[in-house]
Amino acid sequence: MGFLYSQFLVTPSYPKQSFADQTAIVTGANVGLGLEAARHLARLGAAKVILGVRDVAAGEDAKKSIESSTGRPGVCEVWEVDLASYKSVLAFGERAAKLPRLDKAILNAGVATDKFQTAEGLERTITVNVVSTLLLGLLLLKKLKATRREVPSSEPKLSFVVSEVHGWVNFPEWKEDNILATISDPAKAKMNERYPLSKLLEVLLVQELAGRTRGKEVIINQINPGLCHSQLGRDAGWQLWLLKAVIARSTEVGSRTLVAGATAGMDSHGAYMTDGCVENTAFSPFVRSDEGYQARQKLWKEVSDIFEGIQPGIMQDLE
């Protein structure tokens, strides 16, 4: 009922807060929610908006569209990042570390497909939506913390775009010895549930990341934009297309929730935001349960080991 109420009866507020002098990163910014969120940031005065994209040509088109519509030539930069490649994510993080400042990061890029493929030794959806997204968050967190120390007026935010569908799936695999290997086994993967499962894993891990980060340094929040018209799910089948046709928000309206995460206060640290507002009761019952906490700890250990294998010492910044 809450889902339908939001879709039909709630319209997130139009963003008005200034981003003057700030530098922001938005991934998945060449289309959909990411594109419209980046457009809002540019419209609201951001000094620099970095469009993190897999397709650079599409990113350049997005840059032209944003700068033309906002009358702000030169405000956008297009940076390549392919979340299916750890090497690409590391390169993006190294580039971001050289920025004079970084005030906001909205991690929006993701995939939704029912086709089984692998990337970096795991099922591709898990690599893109979960492991690489958290890895990128860790890499950017260091620069966001530095900005907070060096620019007292900055209020850094790290926002992860999640989804209410994290509560629409069961997760018995959390009891396995190796969770990620189990769900990446083609004989066991339930690809019709893969996107919701990836969002559940992301929610759990972002909770843990926020719990290990002081909000006074960087506020970390989770954004549920609702069901919106976007390119996400273009490979997911006709059922999602039909659902969107009936109840989806416009892309621009959905993007307002991403900007709300970038302007939210301390009460959003570690929290779940829906319709642009903090709503922690919208975490699924599993996420809020003792079993959910146990699953979170196991997942964190697994991804920590992966991250240390990719870049030794990366977890030290959270100690």
Per-residue model confidence as pLDDT tens digits over 19-52: 999 999 999 999 999 999 999 999 999 999 999 9
Is residue 86 among the annotated active site residues?
no
Q: Where are the beta strands (DSSP E) in 70-212?
A: 76-80, 104-107, 118-119, 122-123, 157-161
Token pair in block for residue 48? 């620099």
Q: What is the pLDDT of residue 77?
A: 98
User: Rounded to whole angstroms, how far apart are CA atoms 105 and 107?
Assistant: 6
Predicted TM-score of the model (pTM): 0.93
Catalytic residue among 48, 104, 143, 199: 199
**Does the structural domain 16-309 have CATH classification 3.40.50.720?**
yes
Residue 224: band (very low, low, confident or very high) from pLDDT cuts 50, 70, 90? very high
Say whether pLDDT at 56 is over 90: yes
Q: Delimit the domains of the chain by residue range.
A: 16-309
More confident site: 246 or 99: 99
Catalytic residue among 195, 244, 293, 298: 195
Is residue 145 within 8 A of residue 97, CB to CB? The reply is no
Q: What is the pLDDT of residue 250?
A: 80
Question: Which residue reads 């990446």 in tokens?
Answer: 184
Is residue 199 among the annotated active site residues?
yes
Per-residue model confidence as pLDDT tens digits over 263-317: 999 999 999 999 999 998 889 999 999 999 999 999 999 999 999 999 999 998 7
Dihedral (Cα; 263, 1, 133, 116), 10-degree rounding: -160
User: Rounded to whole angstroms, how far apart are CA atoms 290 and 292?
Assistant: 5
